[in-house]
Structure 1
Amino acid sequence: MTDMPTLKPERPFFSSGPTAKFPGWSASNLKTEALGRSHRSAVGKARLKYAIDLSRELLGVPDDYLVGIMPGSDTGALECAMWTMLGARPATVAAWESFGNVWIQDAVKQLKLPDLQVLDADYGEIPDLTQIPQGNDVVFTWNGTTSGAKIANTDWLEQGREGLAVNDATSAVFAQEMDWAKLDATTYSWQKVMGSEAQHGMLVLSPKAVKRIESYDPAWPLPKLFRLKKGDKLNRAIFEGATINTPSLLATEDYILALEWAKSIGGRKAMFERADANAKIVTDWIEATPWMRNMVADPAQRTNTGVCMVFQGDWYESLSAEDQVGVPKKIAAMLDEHDVGYDFNGYRDAPPSLRIWCGGTVEQEDLKRLLPWIEWAYESLRNQ
């Protein structure tokens, strides 16, 4: 029987969204000058523009791309891109986890795209992306938040391709380098890799995406929250801090604080290194643990953020399907009760699993302290 560990993580926050605040975060460090002010005021608009500019700088977004703040988190930003740009030419939606499957349902049931290719794969796998015609618009999730599977590269997207590439990057940015030259609409949310408060999404548009928006009017009505045009032109004020609807300036300040921290430690490269080191701790442990395996078989497709793992072995496989589902839930509940690890059970639609967030705001030592507790909880269940 494995003894109960004595050391606990100092910050037991391992949720995959919202994710852990950066080390040293304190609400007392949030700037408050804009609070209680209109987002249209000079100070409010300036803070929103500062958040946009810092995002551009840290992510290395090209100068001729536009960056804007959108309502509704990553979902709002991604669906805005789909609703405003799809339908002009054949489209492909590729999915390998739950959120990508939502975009498939949007394309099939809501937009009812007439010339649609659907590519999907089971959790932990990636479909054959070379099947996508280069003339198709394509919607895909760079990093599968609920499966731990990411694209290994962008070789399947040709430079200068005719179709648009719409990229849901919400659990990839600030952890993996974006190939901006091949991306036309990229979206993410503040609460994922940067650990900021959930509220808003970001939309990054290439010149080709802007051209599509200005030259194309979709057949379906657009809700106000998705209307990017003013007359026949893109409303560029949206990408200068004049948001479509009222944003939370408190959430904005929290996002700015996280961006400033990332900049202070060396920018996105430092964030990449932190995520890589964190993920290595967890993936090495999985490889050394006989009753556990990575949900993603191909090492090249394994994420460095939300690492997903499933159980295996004689004891686990002898359980009923219902009891197998209960194993990760019970382990997560046991560690929550001991204030060791919060919210790291696998996603509700995924196979029974654990999912440990390894993004750059997590500390290596906290991960090292968490893993022996998982071993203890597992052995406790086996010996009941």
Structure 2
Amino acid sequence: MVTTNSASRGDARKPDVRPANPRFSSGPCAKPPAFDLQTLSDAPLGRSHRAAIGKAKLAEAIELTRSVLGVPEDYRIGIVPASDTGAFEMAMWTMLGERPAEMVAWESFGAGWVTDVVKQLKIEATVHEAPYGEIVEMAALNYDHDVCFTWNGTTSGVRMPHGEMIPEDRAGLTLCDATSAAFAQDLPWDKLDVTTFSWQKVMGGEAAHGMLILSPRAVERLESYTPAWPLPKIFRLTKGGKLIEGIFKGETINTPSMLCVEDYLQALKWGQSIGGLQALHARCDANAKAVWDFCDANDWIENLASDPATRSNTSVCVKFTDDRITDGPAFAKAVAKRLEAEGVALDVGAYRDAPAGLRIWCGATVETSDIEALLPWIDWAFHQELASA
């Protein structure tokens, strides 16, 4: 239950309580509540990532990822460069082209994958698009083709409700960008052949490192198919027609930051300490519900997701609906700027390509009490901007 003070009536008084942590950015995201720089003191700084200690840390990060996420034992997990973008582009450039593709986009990053396939790789593809706040009818896709999609639209606040529409007997591969879904939402591994994410989302890790998870079917594709285009070294996952197994044992393609690796390890251990995957999911759900309830209680703001079943529980996107607002983008930016000036919400403006509004990160590293403290401030900032318009 979200409690608001007299600011909900639109008067000029500021709320009494401020979030203890005003960081609600959708990436990089807030650090885990237990974060302390001293916990990173075991990072092997100044050592090669190819030394025994470096490889051991990287291998530990891979196996802890498997444990916390519940990834099947016969799936490979690799740490790759360039965040989720690098991981997903690595998958597309090495595996697509063997058959036509089904490209799915309901937000800006999915649209970026469409550009890669249609304009750069020039693969035969059918493009399925939905406006911000909606998703594509996934059951209508041809799963004998390779299917590329985002599980959770970070910039649109919508997500896949489940994976039941993906057939088990599909001939094509499913490539899933799960960067703002991993650790927060149920991922049906038997329906996903390639899954990518980055550390800086739900677990609050540092940027520039991506995770690439491959099913046995994805490995088979890599070992049986050679793309028609040249591959840069940073994308190569096979050698002599065989998977480079070392990548999935901690022998990364390029030099990782061992400080970032240590930070990710501490985040994973924090996740384990609070109850594992179910506890991480529950924290996201509680955070998102606080925002959803706030929208339901106020007629001037609503969730960008048009269907409650597809609402994201991490990147919660909201829009202002009051008829008195004459310039939506300017108004939303002014509200976000006012919240930042007060030090109660940092980086909550909508993504640059998305509809005007706010985007509040509700991932597992955010405390529900901070979300609840923020909401009266949104109420106050909205009415302040409305009065000054």
TM-score (norm 2): 0.96
Within 5 A, what are the aligned runs for 1:1-384?
Answer: 1-113=11-123, 115-316=124-325, 319=326, 323-384=327-388
Aligned-pair Cα RMSD in Å: 0.8
Question: Contact conserved, 2:162 with 2:186, CA < 8 A, in 1?
Answer: no
Structure 1's unaligned 5+ residue stretches are none
CA contact (8 A) 2:43 2:259 kept: no
- Please name the residue that 2:4 is paired with: none
Contact 1:2/1:375 (8 A) holds in 2:
no
Q: After TM superposition, give the deviation of residue 129 of structure 1 in Å.
A: 1.6
Q: Deviations over 1:214-251 (max 9, x none)?
A: 00000011111110012110001000000000011111
Query: Secondary structure of the residue that 1:374 maps to in structure 2?
Result: helix
1:78-133 deviation per Cα after TM superposition (whole angstroms, max 9, x unaligned): 000000000001111101000000000001111000x2110011000011222211
User: Alignment partner of 1:93: what SS?
Assistant: strand
Show the counterpart of 2:7.
none
Higher deviation after alignment, 323-332 or 284-293: 323-332
CA distance in 2: counterparts of 1:110 and 1:81, whole angstroms: 14
Runs of 4 or more off by more than 3 Å in structure 1? none
Further displaced range: 152-161 or 94-103: 152-161
Residue identity matched to 2:222: I
Q: Point out where structure 2 has 5 or more consecutive residues left out of the alignment.
A: 1-10
- How far apart in 1 are the matches of 2:213 and 2:299? 43
Contact 2:43 2:258 in 1 (8 A): no
Deviation per residue, 1:170-222 (Å, 9 max, x gap):
00010001100011000000001101111200000000000000000000111
* Deviation, structure 1 residue 32: 3.2
1:313: Cα distance to partner?
2.0
Q: Distance in 2 between matches of 1:2 and 1:289?
A: 18
Q: Deviations over 1:6-48 (max 9, x none)?
A: 2110000100011111112111111334111000000011000
Instruction: Name the amino acid aligned to 1:98.
Output: S
Paired with 1:2 and 1:367, the residues of 2 have a C-alpha distance of 21
Offset, 1:335? 1.3
Classify the secondary structure of the residue corresponding to 1:238.
helix
